[in-house]
Amino acid sequence: MLVTPEREHKLRTVLSRRQPDLTVLMEQVNKPHNLSAILRTCDAVGVLEVHAIPPQKGLPVLEEAEAGKIRTYNDTSGSAAKWVGLRVHPDVPSAFAYLKGQGFRIYATRLSEQATDYRAVDYTQPTCILLGAEKWGVSEEAAALADGHIVIPMLGMVQSLNVSVAAAVILFEAQRQRLEAGLYERPRLSPQQYQAVWEAWSDP
Ligand code: SAM
């Protein structure tokens, strides 16, 4: 089936706003509905590709990740998985080596008094937001390797937000800063990246 001119216009407009230097790393985020919600937010903010370190061996999510995909609920993500790439890493050191090699600064989200308010970060620079597992948060190993620790101030009775909510709060601050800096006004992808994504997106 051919892409209609209207559809092509929509796809190219979205593609021209994709931000190859803004991403998240999900460390053992294990609930499919959280993964789906994070992907959906990433699509809305213009993230090109997200990263994940799957939960421990033996859990179904890892077996699927090893087969090249992580289970998400397409009904809740609104099929965002088609529009946002997902790169799976086996462990913390390899994920950090890859992201550092790409020039990202990695900010660990941490519920700690030493962490910086998330609004103080400059998200117009190449940025990766590290998100932790629903039960125990970001690991000590990953926290030690991160370039900084950030927190969304909590002024109520509960200690933490749902991980997908925390991701949305931080990513929309990144979007606000990037809109202000004009980073959505011109294509950010290299011609090769653009062509590869275009071919994937326009393939029904
Ligand atoms: N007991 C865990 C802890 O101490 O980190 C709570 C984990 S929380 C439910 C799951 C993830 O959501 C966290 O690892 C972090 O990525 C994110 N998160 C939740 N609330 C946050 C906040 N106020 N600031 C920054 N990140 C937050």
Residue 72: predicted pLDDT: 52
Q: Is the CB of 161 under 6 A from ligand 1?
A: yes
pLDDT band, residue 57 (cuts 50/70/90): low
Predicted ipTM beyond 0.85: yes
- Could you give the percent of the chain with pLDDT greater than 70? 88
| Token pair belonging to 72 | 């998400």
Residue nearest to atom 5 of ligand 1 (CA): 137
Q: Which of 155, 161, 165, 173 to mutate to test the pocket of ligand 1 (most atoms within 8 A of CB)?
A: 161
Mean pLDDT of 29-57: 91
Q: Is 134 in the pocket of ligand 1 (CB under 6 A)?
A: yes
Distance in angstroms (rounded) separating the CA atoms of residues 106 and 83: 23
**DSSP assignment of 68-129, as one string?**
T-----HHHHTTGGGTSEEEE-SSHHHHHHHHHHTT-EEEEE--STTSEEGGGS-TTSSEEE
Q: How far is the CA of 79 from the centre of ligand 1 (A)?
A: 25
Q: Is the pTM of this model over 0.90?
A: yes
Ligand 1: residue of 29, 163, 169 to mutate (most ligand atoms within 8 A of CB) is 163
pLDDT of amino acid 69: 52
